[in-house]
Amino acid sequence: MSHQVYLIINSITLPLPTSYVLEYRDIEAETGGETEAGTIQRDIVRHGVVSIGVTFNCSPQWVKTFSGLKQNSMLQVRYLDTESLELKTSNMYIEGFSVKLIKDTSYKGLWEVSFTLSEY
């Protein structure tokens, strides 16, 4: 039995993440807000815009792969949608990229890579 695939970026199947946080948010127009009567009016431009926060514990080779992916301004991402438990496809970009050495080993170390994928 194969493991669950969480992310495929530009046709590269990524290893299992140690953390996977999927967030849906709505994009509101500036015309929304509180009315004179004190009620909230929301003018939603886009529903359910996805952002995915992920963390991986990985080898130096994966650090190099992730570093290369972050250079792209647009990525084709297939991600595990937690509402349907199926892979969905979207165009995204990487922000908040960080790399941290967890443990130095004879195999060039174990690294922690974290970033957020944000939908266009």
Query: 39-61: per-residue pLDDT in tens?
Result: 887 787 888 899 999 999 999 99
Residue 2 pLDDT more than 60?
yes
Q: Are 33 and 40 in contact (CB under 8 A)?
A: yes
Residue 1 pLDDT more than 70?
no
Q: Rounded CA gap, 86 and 82, in Å?
A: 8
Please state the domain extents for the chain: 7-31+40-119
Single-letter amino acid, residue 53: G
Residue 115 pLDDT more than 80?
yes
- First-last CA distance in the chain: 34
* Secondary structure letter of residue 36 according to DSSP: T
* Secondary structure letter of residue 71 according to DSSP: T
Q: Rounded CA gap, 66 and 112, in Å?
A: 11
Query: 72-101: per-residue pLDDT in tens?
Result: 999 999 999 999 999 999 999 999 999 999
- Percentage of the chain modeled with pLDDT above 70: 98
